[in-house]
Structure formats: C-alpha cells, structure tokens
Amino acid sequence: MDYQFDVSDFKAYLKDKNPKYRVEGLTFWKTTIPLPIDLFNKIFDDSGIILSEYINHLTAAIIVFTEREVFEELFLISVDQLPSKDLINKKSLVIKWLEDLFENNKSYQHFMLNVSEALSLESISIDPEGITKALCHEGRKYSRLAYPKPLKVYVAEFPLAVSICTKNTDMFGNIIADRYSIYRSGFSDALAIIFNALIDFKLICNNHETIVQRINLNIDNPGNNEYKLEKTQDGSLWEPNYTKNHLVKINVEHPFIKTLPPQDTKHITDILYFLSEFEDSQFSDSQRKVLENMRQEVSKSLWIEYD
C-alpha cells in the first residue's frame, strides 16, 4: 500500500502492521492499552518536534559512546548510565565540550545532517545545548534507544556505539510521556511502540507531499443506496467500502447512530451514502485525503456531542 504522511494513513499503517491496533470512538487501542485519540493525533501533529528531539538523543548516544574514555574522565559518570539528571549541574561544561567536538570532528555534524535528511527534517540544526538537554534526561538508557534499519548505515560509521539499541527498544516512550506529563501504567510502552512505528512510517513516506486540487461535485445516483451497519476500520461514523459495488459502512457503535430516531435513519443513511460515494469516486489521492480527514474530524466531533 502507498502511504502519505498524514495521521489517517498512519492509523492505517499501524492497523496493517497489527490488526489489534485500532481506533474505536475517541480511543486508539494499542492492543489492550487505550490512548485518547486526541493524544495520538497530538503526537503525530508534533512529530517534527519529537523527531528532532530523537535526533538529538541519537546523536548524543553516538557521541558519548564513541568518546567514552574522554567523557567519563571529564564528567565522572558512566556512559552506560546516560541519559541522566546527574549531568544537570555540569550543563555548561557539557555544552562547551560538545561545541569543541563539533568544531573539531565533522563526522558528528555529518551524522546529524544525514539522519535529518533521511527523516526529511529540513530545519534541523547542530545544537549542542539541545543535545546536552537530551543527555540530562532522567529515564531509560541509550541501550534501549531504537533506530530502524535504514538509519543503520549511518550508525555503523561509529563502531564504538554498538551499545545503542541492544535491549528493549522502549526508551523514547518515557520521553514522550514526560513531554505530555502522562504517568499511567502501560502508557510508556504503548507510546514507545507508536513512536518507533512513526519513525518507520516517516522513512516509508519520505515526507511525500501532493498538491490538493479543487474538488468538483459530480455524483450519479444509482437508485439503490446500499449501506451496512458494522464497525468501520478507523472508527469513523461512515466509511466507503471501496469495492466493485459501492457500499457505505455505517458505524453501528457510533453514539450518533445509537441516538438516531428510527424515522430519521433513511435520510441520514442517504446523506452518508452520497458522501461516501463522492469520496470513493475521487481519482486524486490528495482529494481523497481531504475527504478522509474531514470524515474523521466530523465523526469525532459527533461522537463527543452525542456520547
């Protein structure tokens, strides 16, 4: 399947990876762990910022493992214990050390820029202060920092950094949990899986952008508006079936449908049928994306209103 880098396709990508990852109402389920859909959407919306933080952490790990002997002698802390808040009182010294290191060893700059380019982050900058902040984070250690196979070629240029990504690759879930002040059992692991998948998804899409063209409404009424009451794939109120014979799925679990008076059912299903047929009839992927996003946002708003 060809994906575009938007939140709708990210949900579809996760579901393709594991059918137990799903949207139900206002909740995204990572198997048995529920995350509020607004939190899931927020993480995706903030992906540029979060991925920039990830690059800072990955660069920090590359540097400290490569420069282990000098680092441990200067700052009296084992690299295996990083990141650590024990460095907070030495922040200014770490920043100065990194500034000198970037000035004298261009390989670290090249690493950051190569990873940034692979993740299509054009605005990344060499930021010793940001890398120092990453090193001062208190949580899981760099042995649990994940990097996907497409980035391995860049990491392999630093053979002394072999201790990265050697254990459970769940470090960044803790960082995201701290970012949004989320401290509930199981959330960190779920966030780590979502974030690791987000890196893979970003690499797959390569930040592909399409031009959204003007939408023209042109629907032929076949005279037989078929619909089926069943759960939709993304939790929306309605969803095109995308089969040879057009059929709209209407989410029987959506509270708007549950509170609908029987006499209004025909009118509503007709409206949803035509919206669904219109979405199904679009030849432009970008126009389908506009309608898909609209459908999800309307469905979420109606869920909140009628729940």
Q: Within a domain: residue 78? A: yes
Do 63 and 163 lie in one domain? The reply is: yes
Q: What is the mean pLDDT of residues 20-45?
A: 88
Q: What value does the mean pLDDT of the chain take?
A: 85
Q: Which of 43-47, 59-63, 197-201, 229-233 has the lowest mean pLDDT?
A: 229-233
206 domain-assigned:
no
Question: Residue 6 domain-assigned?
Answer: no
The residue from 169, 188, 216 where one domain ends is 169
Mean pLDDT of 234-263: 78
> Of 41-45, 80-84, 114-118, 228-232, which range is least confident?
228-232
The pTM for the full model equals: 0.74
pLDDT grade for 243, boundaries at 50, 70 and 90: low
| Domain assignment of residue 217, yes or no | no
Last residue of a domain, one of 137, 152, 169: 169
Domain coverage including residue 233: 227-306
**pLDDT value for 253:** 85
The answer to the question of residue 275 being in a domain is: yes
Quick one: 76 and 159 in the same domain? yes
| Long-range CB contacts for residues 181-190, cutoff 8 Å, separation at least 24 | 182/39, 186/33, 187/33, 187/35, 189/33, 190/30, 190/33, 190/35
- Of 122, 145, 169, the residue at which a domain comes to its end is 169
Q: Is residue 262 assigned to a domain? A: yes
Please check whether residues 152 and 54 belong to one and the same domain.
yes
Average pLDDT over residues 125-151: 93
How far is it, in rounded angstroms, from Cα 254 to Cα 240? 16
57 and 148 co-located in one domain:
yes
* pLDDT given for residue 246 in this prediction: 60
Residue-wise pLDDT tens digits, 156-195: 999 999 889 888 889 999 999 999 988 877 788 899 999 9
User: Does residue 101 belong to any structural domain of this protein?
Assistant: yes
Q: Is residue 29 part of a domain?
A: no
72, 162: one domain: yes
Q: Is the domain of 165 the same as that of 232?
A: no
Q: What is the pLDDT of residues 43-64, one digit of tens each?
A: 999 999 999 999 999 999 999 9
Residue 29 has pLDDT above 50, yes or no: yes
Helix or strand or coil: residue 24? strand
Query: How, if at all, do strands 248-250 and 33-36 pair?
Result: unpaired
Q: Does 78 score more than 80 pLDDT?
A: yes
Please tell me whether residues 54 and 164 are part of one structural domain. yes
- pLDDT tens sequence across 269-288: 888 888 887 887 777 777 77
| Amino acid making up residue 231 | K
Q: Is the pLDDT of residue 212 over 60?
A: no
Domain count, the chain: 2
| Same domain flag for 75 and 159 | yes
Whether residues 164 and 274 share a domain: the answer is: no
Segment 225-229 shows an average pLDDT of 74
